[in-house]
Amino acid sequence: MDIQLLSAVFIGIALLLFLILRLKIQAFLALLIVCIAVGMMAGMPAGEILETMKDGMGSTLGFVATVVGLGTLFGGILEQSGGAQRLASYMLKKTGEKNAPWAMMITGFAVAIPVFFDVAFIILVPITYALSKRTGKSLLLYALPLLAGLAITHAFIPPTPGPIAVADILGADLGWVIVFGFLAGIPAAIISGPVFSRFISKKIFVEPKVFEEKEDYDEKMAPSPGLIISIIFIPILLIVINTILGSPFFADANIPESVLYIVELLGHPFTALIIANLIAWYFLGVRRGMQKEYLLKVATKSFQAAGIIILLTGAGGAFKQILINTGAGEMIAAGLNDTFFNPLLFGFIVAALVRILQGSSTVAMITAAGITAPVLTDGMYSMSQTSLIVIAIAAGASVLSHVNDSGFWLVGQYLGLTEKQTFKTWTMMTTIIAFVGLGMSLLMWYVV
């Protein structure tokens, strides 16, 4: 094993954490600096370092920028239409107050597919306040299931940016990631949401503070729940159908070429999200009287949140390419292949360490993907196994949210929790999500 290469990788990771944690340098800039540093320490020529970074950025962003852009546009229209709040209200009416924690979990799970975590939380948290006031029970009984649903979908299920970025860096199939994301995410949501909230709400009573609902929301004017659910699941369904029909299970099915052509075209994430956007644009906007100028402003505003994620993902792709071109990735892969250490566990541990040390789950996912990707380049792992590694990395990046994570403070402030209470509730919930997600990934690794 080349000591120089190994040292370059470890020093690079340490430098990345130092730049982000100690010097508070933005993660995008820090990743690019580390790319140059690792390339220099590995002995790459100057021109090759910069060319490798360019290639890594370009190959990653060609896919990710398009999907993240389409996904945020879709979420922006859904948010402004009032569809998220309408869906939550519908779920509560169907389940009743007794099963309200389950309704909040399902709502969070569905809404976070097109809408960013923090936006969805701010939109839906007033409902948990209303439930707590109505029943006299701890706010945690309703808020934690909502948070569990939001956090799991945000981390595990495309077209949210994190799993899309990791899937692209690792070369995983997005359809399999969606399938495994649901299979791992549902048990994680149940245990960390309704089950954990029922336990912790008996120990910590949190009274809801005064909270003003969104002034311009009118439930009578909001789109129907059936329409919202249909639009949300259109792109997911198209992508999954394309994946399943293109899998070895249907290799001998004699499906007509014309059908496969249409399915492949419509089931690609680009096309699926374009279709979902057009349907949302018409049914949630134009048909309900929104002016085209207003819809254009909504679209432009929604892109602002996507910018940093796209740039971070590109920098992660550059880091991955540096590791591959220096030969460090091949060396790590050889070292892992000589042991019984599962690459799924490797991805989880790397993501968890970065998450705990610097806070951002997105940075943790992208960094872990960049480090893990070279391990998979020898083709030893099937597409389903690669997709499960995506879920394991997402699980690792969810663990132990604490004071260096903006989500820790967002949740604490909105729910009126002390730091100690936030640790006992939110931090514990994210840790449960991580380990249930890891457990389900390992189970499927040996079953599939």
Neighbouring C-beta atoms of residue 48, cutoff 10 Å: 13
pLDDT of residue 181: 92
Report d(CA 358, CA 295) in Å as an integer. 37
Q: What is the average pLDDT score of the chain?
A: 80
How far, in Å, are 173, 338, 378 from residue 334 at the CA level? Answer: 24, 6, 9
Per-residue confidence of the chain (448 residues) as pLDDT tens digits?
467 777 887 788 788 878 877 888 887 888 899 889 988 998 889 999 999 998 888 877 777 778 777 877 877 777 677 776 676 677 677 777 778 888 889 888 877 776 667 667 766 776 777 677 777 888 899 899 999 998 998 888 877 778 888 888 888 888 889 889 999 999 999 999 999 999 998 898 988 765 444 445 556 677 887 887 788 778 878 877 887 777 656 666 778 888 888 888 888 878 888 898 888 888 887 777 777 777 788 777 777 767 776 787 788 778 878 877 877 666 665 665 555 568 889 889 888 887 887 667 877 888 888 888 877 766 678 888 899 999 999 999 999 887 667 677 778 877 888 878 888 999 999 999 999 999 999 999 988 7
Report d(CA 90, CA 87) in Å as an integer. 5
Structure tokens at 406: 């903006």
End-to-end Cα separation, the chain, in angstroms = 33
In sequence order, which residues have a C-beta less than 8 Å from that of residue 31 and are 6 or more positions away?
A: 16, 312, 315, 316, 318, 319, 366, 367
pLDDT of residue 211: 46
Cis geometry, peptide bond prior to residue 159 (ω within 30 degrees of 0): yes
| Nearest CA-CA partner of 27 in 277, 408, 378, 355 | 355
pLDDT of residue 390: 93
Structure tokens at 333: 């892969």
SS3 breakdown of the chain: % helix, strand, coil, rounded to 5? Answer: 80, 0, 20
| Nearest CA-CA partner of 63 in 156, 152, 169, 147 | 169
At 219-261, the pLDDT tens digits run 667 788 788 778 877 887 887 788 777 765 666 677 888 888 8
pLDDT of residue 12: 84
Residue 432, amino acid:
I
Contact 270, 67 (CB under 8 A): yes
Q: Which residue has the tokens 């939380």?
A: 121
Report d(CA 103, CA 168) in Å as an integer. 32
Q: How many domains does the chain have?
A: 1
Question: What H or E segment, with its residue span, contains residue 177?
Answer: helix 174-190
* DSSP 3-state of 365: helix
CA 130 to chain centre: 28
At 282-304, the pLDDT tens digits run 888 777 777 777 778 877 777 77
Structure tokens at 313: 């993902």
Report d(CA 155, CA 160) in Å as an integer. 7
Burial of 100-132, coded b for 16+ CB within 10 Å and e otherwise, reads bbbbbbbbbbbbbbbbbbbbbbebbbbbbbbbb
Report d(CA 396, CA 364) in Å as an integer. 8
Residue-number span of the structural domain to which 344 is assigned: 3-447
pLDDT of residue 24: 80
pLDDT of residue 446: 87
Report d(CA 289, CA 282) in Å as an integer. 10
In sequence order, which residues have a C-beta less than 8 Å from that of residue 10 and are 6 or more positions away?
A: none
| Nearest CA-CA partner of 397 in 201, 151, 179 | 151
Report d(CA 155, CA 162) in Å as an integer. 6
Structure tokens at 219: 């439930």
